[in-house]
Amino acid sequence: MTAINGLDESFLQGVAGKRVLVRSDLNVPLDGATITDDGRIRASVPTIEALAAAGARVVVAAHLGRPKGEPDPAYSLAPVAARLGELLGRRVAFATDTVGTSAQETVAGLADGVVALLENVRFNAGETSKDDAERGAFADQLAALADVFVSDGFGVVHRKQASVYDVAQRLPHAMGGLVAAEIDVLRRLTVDPARPYVVVLGGSKVSDKLGVIDNLLGKADKLLIGGGMVFTFLKADGLEVGQSLLEEDQLDTVRAYQARAKELGVEIVLPTDIVVADSFGDEASARVVAASAIPAGTLGLDIGPESGKAFAAALADARTVFWNGPMGVFEQPAFADGTRAVAAALTEVDGLSVVGGGDSAAAVRSLGFDESAFGHISTGGGASLEYLEGKELPGITVLED
């Protein structure tokens, strides 16, 4: 079995008439049955389209949300099947189960060049089981539906799950175009990146980014810190942070990172002003205060306007940028300007600009930016972070045999 990076021509020439199981990442946000951000579906289309055009009988497997190993209508992929069909310009057959009668009949009825989507793989407890035998049994059922496996769900390659890891051990397999592109970009961020190299980190918790900070301190030239995680940094410097998000147990770790950054000559840039409010979501009371003068009873919910300008200036001469995590609660207009400032600065980067998936990618789209203005928008926040931490990704290593 050989992993093919990006489905080369020789691979595509061999799939006509074959059942190809594609593990995509279609985990999109839903409001009821309405998809509020279809970015991951659109990113999955090129590989599916290429296989269908080559005459494969394409069977797409994916998950949505975190159902508890059994069917839950709230997490059905039915709306995704409809949207995928619109993007492909053809009807996508939808199996109402994953490996049961509907899946078997749907796959058996496929003609060359036709696409089907299986119901949420996480409706089966075997998908995410920690027990190898249980996970393997489910993988056996999935593998029975196909002749070949293509791994194209980058957002899940850091998970040792049945449809990501175990199926690849049971079928001839290939790396899809999306996963190949993601890995290529991440290698450029970690192996001899063009300099200056600036990393922008936000989001709610320092603990979510510890491994990334640890690994990139030796690689980046500047580290810009925003979002909820910044308050642990400010507190580590002895400042009042009011009722803002704070991880008291990470203060010593943060101080150690600051000391190490100083030794290595890596500049850590923190906000000098903060947008605060009296309570979460209280846009009416939003106001800008100095980062050194956050009132005791308030919450910090965004970096301030001066910080937005300073972050943009720090990015102005960058040749490589990785950004993961919004600067504030961007879903609310009063707390979106910091994230908007960083996104706008990335569009001006003369080099490689990477938006690291998750909330950052959602922010770029919700704030109305043209996705083509960025070098790369990742589909996998967690997978990107684990790669940058230097961890092995099970869904990638299993393809490398």
The reply, when asked if residue 109 is annotated as ligand binding, is no
Query: Do 239 and 291 touch, CB atoms closer than 8 A?
Result: yes
Q: Which amino acid is at 338?
A: G
Helix/strand/coil for 194: coil
Q: Which amino acid is at 56?
A: A
The reply, when asked if residue 388 is annotated as ligand binding, is no
Q: Is 382 a catalytic residue?
A: yes
The reply, when asked if residue 122 is annotated as ligand binding, is yes
Q: Which of 203, 304, 328, 358 is catalytic?
A: 358
Task: Order across the sheet with 376-377: list the strands.
Answer: 267-269, 222-225, 197-201, 320-324, 352-355, 376-377
Which tokens in the block code for residue 3?
């992993």
The reply, when asked if residue 70 is annotated as ligand binding, is no
Which tokens in the block code for residue 307?
């910080």
Cα–Cα distance measured from residue 241 to residue 231, given in angstroms and rounded to the nearest whole number: 6
Q: Which of 85, 113, 375, 382 is catalytic?
A: 382
Q: Which of 19, 23, 39, 40 is catalytic?
A: 40
* CA 211 to centroid of chain Cα atoms: 16
The reply, when asked if residue 281 is annotated as ligand binding, is no
The reply, when asked if residue 300 is annotated as ligand binding, is yes
CA dihedral (299, 216, 210, 226) in degrees, to 10, reads 0
The reply, when asked if residue 192 is annotated as ligand binding, is no
The reply, when asked if residue 360 is annotated as ligand binding, is yes
Which uninterrupted H or E stretch holds 307? helix 305-315
Which tokens in the block code for residue 26?
């279609």
The reply, when asked if residue 359 is annotated as ligand binding, is yes
Q: Which of 205, 309, 319, 365 is catalytic?
A: 205
The reply, when asked if residue 158 is annotated as ligand binding, is no
The reply, when asked if residue 25 is annotated as ligand binding, is yes
The reply, when asked if residue 188 is annotated as ligand binding, is no
The reply, when asked if residue 201 is annotated as ligand binding, is no
Which tokens in the block code for residue 314?
């720090």
Which tokens in the block code for residue 193?
């990146």
Residue found by looking up tokens 């990501």 in the block? 164
* CA 165 to centroid of chain Cα atoms: 18
371: exposed, middle or buried (Cβ count in 10 Å: 0-12, 13-18, 19+): middle
Q: Is 205 a catalytic residue?
A: yes
Cα–Cα distance measured from residue 230 to residue 289, given in angstroms and rounded to the nearest whole number: 15
Query: Do 146 and 170 touch, CB atoms closer than 8 A?
Result: no
Which tokens in the block code for residue 42?
């659109």
The reply, when asked if residue 307 is annotated as ligand binding, is no
* Nearest one of 350, 348, 335, 310 to 225, comparing CA atoms: 310
Q: Which amino acid is at 294?
A: I
The reply, when asked if residue 63 is annotated as ligand binding, is yes
Cα–Cα distance measured from residue 374 to residue 363, given in angstroms and rounded to the nearest whole number: 13
Helices 337-347 and 305-315 pack at an angle, to 10 degrees, of 20
Annotated binding site for (2R)-3-phosphoglycerate: 40, 122, 159
Annotated binding site for ATP: 209, 300, 331, 357-360
Annotated binding site: 25-27, 40, 63-66, 122, 159, 209, 300, 331, 357-360
Annotated binding site for substrate: 25-27, 40, 63-66, 122, 159
Residues catalogued as catalytic:
40, 205, 358, 382
